[in-house]
């Protein structure tokens, strides 16, 4: 299993995408999509800038380490949305912390509801709580039901490419509406209307029959 396009979009939305180095919420120099010195080169520092292409390349390289950590550790039948949520968590707390987490322990015990709740335990600093809540929601909710948010208190959900969105919400065929056949009325008024209709329809035929007696007909 790999990180899905939806999972990638959610992770980037949570980490942000910065082309100039900055200090994160705990004071660690960061650049690109959550790239720190712990992930390898380049080492973020004051004044460091990268291009958009470099940012994408660094992220693609960085994220594979976290994908592999999660893939090798979790049950193989984990749904895609849950897998993506754990990659997001692992990316944020680091592989070592993920491997010793209650989240992973509960997963291996087969207790997925408890594993989801354990995601919320990673709540420091407090500014990270809305992200944890979004990862919790993502872990529990299939993408076919709803797309994830970067943070639970966000107004909108993560943006995904049009083909991905279309695959989640395919065009449904127009239903075939069967014609409604109204049965003949069995009421007294309905019977009378039917008798009168038949009478008026038979009158022209009777008249034509009378006029053709003797071999003469009207043109």
Q: CATH number, domain at 58?
A: 1.10.530.40
In a domain, 179, yes or no: no
In a domain, 132, yes or no: yes
In a domain, 211, yes or no: no
The C-alpha atoms of residue 177 and residue 31 are separated, in whole angstroms, by: 58
Residue 15 annotated among the catalytic residues of the structure: yes
In a domain, 203, yes or no: no
Predicted pLDDT at 201? 59
- Per annotation, catalytic residue among 2, 8, 24, 211: 24
In a domain, 181, yes or no: no
Confidence of residue 178 (pLDDT cuts 50, 70, 90): low
In a domain, 216, yes or no: no
Confidence of residue 203 (pLDDT cuts 50, 70, 90): low
pLDDT tens-digit readout, 15-43: 999 999 999 988 999 999 999 999 999 99
What φ, ψ does residue 11 adopt, rounded to 5°?
Answer: -65, -45
Judge if pTM exceeds 0.85.
Answer: no
CB 151 within 8 A of CB 130: yes
The total domain count for the chain is 1
What Cα–Cα distance (Å) separates residue 8 from each residue in 3, 82, 109? 6, 13, 27
Predicted pLDDT at 161? 80
- Residue 84 domain boundaries: 5-168
- Per annotation, catalytic residue among 15, 62, 84, 135: 15
At 112, list the tokens.
Answer: 């997925």
Residue 30 DSSP class: E
User: For 108-121, what is the mean pLDDT?
Assistant: 98
Predicted pLDDT at 25? 84
CB 89 within 8 A of CB 98: yes
In a domain, 11, yes or no: yes
Beta-bridged to residue 1, according to DSSP, are: none
What φ, ψ does residue 123 adopt, rounded to 5°?
Answer: -120, 20
Residue 8 annotated among the catalytic residues of the structure: no
pLDDT > 60? residue 218 = no
**In terms of pLDDT, which residue wins out, 217 or 59?**
59
In a domain, 196, yes or no: no
CB 40 within 8 A of CB 65: no
Percent of the chain exceeding pLDDT 70 equals 74
């Amino acid at each position: 299993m790999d990180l899905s396009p939806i999972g990638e979009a959610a992770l980037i939305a949570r980490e942000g995408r910065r082309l100039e180095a900055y200090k994160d919420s705990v004071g660690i120099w960061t650049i690109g999509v959550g790239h720190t010195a712990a992930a390898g080169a380049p080492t973020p520092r004051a004044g460091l800038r990268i291009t958009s292409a470099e940012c994408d390349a660094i992220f693609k390289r960085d994220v594979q380490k976290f994908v592999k950590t999660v893939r090798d550790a979790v049950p193989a039948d984990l749904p895609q949305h849950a897998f993506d949520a754990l990659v997001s968590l692992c990316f944020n707390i680091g592989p070592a912390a993920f491997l010793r987490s209650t989240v992973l322990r509960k997963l291996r015990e087969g207790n997925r509801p408890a594993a989801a709740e354990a995601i919320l335990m990673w709540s420091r600093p407090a500014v990270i709580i809305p992200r944890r809540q979004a990862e919790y929601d993502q872990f529990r909710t299939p993408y076919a039901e709803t797309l994830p948010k970067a943070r639970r208190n966000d107004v909108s959900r993560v943006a995904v490419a049009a083909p991905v969105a279309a695959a989640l919400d395919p065009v449904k065929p127009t239903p075939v509406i069967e014609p409604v056949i109204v049965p003949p009325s069995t009421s007294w008024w309905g019977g009378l209307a039917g008798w009168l209709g038949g009478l008026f329809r038979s009158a022209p035929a009777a008249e034509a029959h009378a006029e053709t007696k003797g071999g003469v007909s009207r043109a």
